[in-house]
Amino acid sequence: SSRFGWDGSASLPSLAPPCGRPRTPEGAMEADPAFVKEIDAKAVKGDEACKAATVCLQAIRSVICSNLAAPSPAAYFAGAAAALQRGPPPATAAALLLVLRKAIPATPASAVCARLNDLAAAVGVALKAPPEDGALIRQALGCLMAATDAAYGAGAGARPNRKVLKPIFAFLGDARAPVRHQAELTATVVVKRAAAAGDQQTLDFAS
C-alpha cells in the first residue's frame, strides 16, 4: 500500500481497461493524460501546490501500474477519490483535491456520473475539515462544481444527485467569506446548468 494507506485495487480495474502487459512507472508517465503532464510541468517550475500533487500522482501511478491498467483520466480520478475517502492529512487532501478537480473534466462524463456517490463521499471528507482549513473546503466545492458540469454533460436526463448538491448549498451561509463566495459561485453554476437543461428537480432543490 502507498504512503496514503491505500492500495486502490478495488477502484481502478472497473474504470481503467487492462493494458494487457506490465507497465512501468516510466512508461505510464509517457502515456499520462495531459492534465497530469501539466501538473508535473508546473511542479518542475516551482509551483508548490503542484509539487505536492506530483507526490500523489506518483502513488496513484504506481497503483495503476501494479493493476496493469492504462493511465487514463478515469484511473487517476478513481485513484484520487479512493485516497480521499481514507481521510488523509490536510496537506495530502489538498493535493488530492487538485488532482481530482483536474481529472473530472478530463474523464468521460458517463464515468464520472457512474461514480458520483464515490466522489461525494471523497469530497465529503474534505468538507468536514476544521474551521482553519477553509482553503480545503473551497477546493472541495470546486470539485463538486466540476462534477456538476460532468453530470449535465452525460446526456439527456442526466443530473447531479443530492449527495453532490447538498454540500454546495450547505455552505452558502458559511461565516468564512472565501468559503461562502466559493459556495455562491458553485451554486450559481448549478442553477444555470439546471435551467439550461430544464432540470426542474434541481431548481426546486436550490430554491
Question: Using H for helix, E for strand and C for coil, what is the string for 147-168?
Answer: HHHHHHCCCCCCCCCHHHHHHH
Task: Tell me the DSSP string of 118-156.
Answer: HHHHHHHHHHT--GGGHHHHHHHHHHHHHHHHHHHTS-T
Q: What is the per-residue pLDDT across 75-116, written as a single tens digit (0 to 9) for each? A: 999 999 999 999 999 999 999 999 999 999 999 999 999 899
Domain residue extents for the chain: 1-107, 109-207
State the pLDDT at residue 24: 53
Find the helix packing angle between 90-106 and 116-127, rounded to 10°: 150
Tell me the HSE value of 202 on the side-chain side, using a 13 A CA sphere: 27
- Tens of pLDDT, residue by residue, the chain (207 residues): 344 433 443 344 344 444 444 455 555 567 899 999 999 999 999 999 999 999 999 999 999 988 888 899 999 999 999 999 999 999 999 999 999 999 999 999 999 998 998 999 999 988 888 777 788 999 999 999 999 999 998 877 788 888 899 999 999 999 999 999 999 999 999 999 999 999 999 999 998
State the pLDDT at residue 14: 40
**Residue 38 and residue 47: Cα distance in Å, rounded?**
11
State the pLDDT at residue 18: 42
